[in-house]
Structure 1
Amino acid sequence: MAIPRTVSLISLISLLVPVLATAVNAAASNGDGSRVAEHQRALDYSGHGGNGHGLGEDEREEHEREKKLRLSAVLNEPDPPYHAIVQCWELSPWFVSYPTTGRALSLGDTANATYVVLPPRGGEGWHRPPSPMFFVLLSGLAHVKTYPPALPGLAAERDQHPSQNQDVEGGGHDDDDDDDEPTESLFVVSGVNPLIIAVDTDLRSPGHLTFYPSEVETVALQVPFKDGRIPEHDVLYDGPCRR
């Protein structure tokens, strides 16, 4: 006996409806799951107070690093002969949201600031900072060099000027193209790493050399710490900050 065409069509529809319903529900479920996952990723990335879940190891390190400020610091070795060295420091204050946009952190209490204009292709010779301070490069280029205490002639210069707190006279170092190999070489570049800390004020050391190899004037701010108090920080490693 032949089956009416209407009955066959109804049967086919009745078979397809559950299949279609299952597919639609699955698609809806997957869509919600994707939206939830995207929302969670947004939460993980948003805000500097986030915990960084969901990030890869490199991304998590970068996420954590953005919460605090890292600066290169020039300081004295704590033991004789107290020569100048360079370290990478991380300041203790955390970045917070700025009222309008971006982020900010406190650099601590400072004293009067000095605006300094330095000649093209100049150099300061051996010197120590007059007080512990921030050095802020507004324009130009600065090249800081520290040397081991065994540098020829350095001990004699130190003996001749044991208490001088400014440039060591007769140093003859106003040219960046010297033949001696520095212990550390720190370039300070405006717009890249314009802020460093200079605290190598120990009178038992001649300090460091700074050159300004740019073809134009270099402009900087010297911002002493109030009462000479160095900001709280952690020492990350020896040498200039790499990132």
Structure 2
Amino acid sequence: MSLDLGEIEWAHFDIIPARYDGGLHNAPRKQFVWWISGMVHFTLPNATGEAWIYGGKHGIIFGDDTADSSEWGHGTAYPGGDETIALTIPTRNNTVPEHTVLHDGACEWQDLIGI
């Protein structure tokens, strides 16, 4: 199994301190983010849904709630006791790669079986 990331511009390695609250913000660009380690809590300002992302092989998302497509963006908090390591990979020309939407909302554990 492989995942084609499409054309990318560059990649950025981030070390986020333990218990950091990133607040409400938009994604700065259309991008993949792979949390290699740590824990991230996503919230939406106008919904009750949330997502918990744990670093590792299932820790990758695609962020496309940029200011041109989302008024409010999302909230991020890093509540763990250890720093969180992330690799950010923006797409070339701020494009969304071909994909299939499985359902609304965050992936559940059963969506990840076999990945």
* TM-score (normalizing by structure 1): 0.42
CA displacement, residues 49-82 of structure 1 (integer Å, 9 cap, x when unaligned)? xxxxxxxxxxxxxxxxxxxxxxxxxxxxxxxxxx
Cα distance in 2, alignment partners of residues 241 and 227 from structure 1: 27
Query: What code does the residue aligned with 2:85 have?
Result: V
The 3 A distance-change label for structure 1 pair 115 and 131 is: same
The number of residue pairs the alignment matches comes to 108
Identify unmatched segments of 5+ residues in structure 1.
1-94, 96-103, 149-181
Please provide the CA RMSD for this pair.
Answer: 1.5
Tell me which protein shows more strand as a share of its residues: 2
Give unpaired runs (5+ residues) of structure 2: none
Which structure has the higher relative contact order (CA within 8 Å, separation 6+)? 2
Secondary structure of the structure 1 residue equivalent to 2:93: helix
| Counterpart check, 1:110 vs 2:8 | yes
Q: Report the secondary structure of 2:27's partner residue.
A: coil
Q: Percent identity between the aligned chains?
A: 33
Q: Give the 4+ runs in structure 1 shifted more than 6 A.
A: none
| TM-score (ref. length: structure 2) | 0.86
Q: How does 1:5-20 map to 2 (within 5 A)?
A: none
Establish whether residue 221 from structure 1 lines up as the match of residue 87 from structure 2.
yes
Question: Distance in 2 between the 1:186 and 1:233 partners?
Answer: 20
Do residues 138 (structure 1) and 36 (structure 2) align?
yes
Structure with the bigger percentage of helix = 1
Equivalent of 1:239 in 80, 101, 105: 105
Whether the 8 Å contact between 1:147 and 1:184 is mirrored in structure 2 is no
1:93-132 correspondence runs (5 A) = 95=1, 104-132=2-30
Residue of structure 2 equivalent to 1:209? 75
Bigger radius of gyration, 1 or 2?
1
CA distance in 2: counterparts of 1:126 and 1:233, whole angstroms = 26
| 1:199 correspondence with 2:97 | no
Residue 191 of structure 1 deviates from its aligned partner by: 2.4
Task: Summarize the Cα distance change of 1:225–1:127 in structure 2 as closer, same or farther, 3 Å threshold.
Answer: same
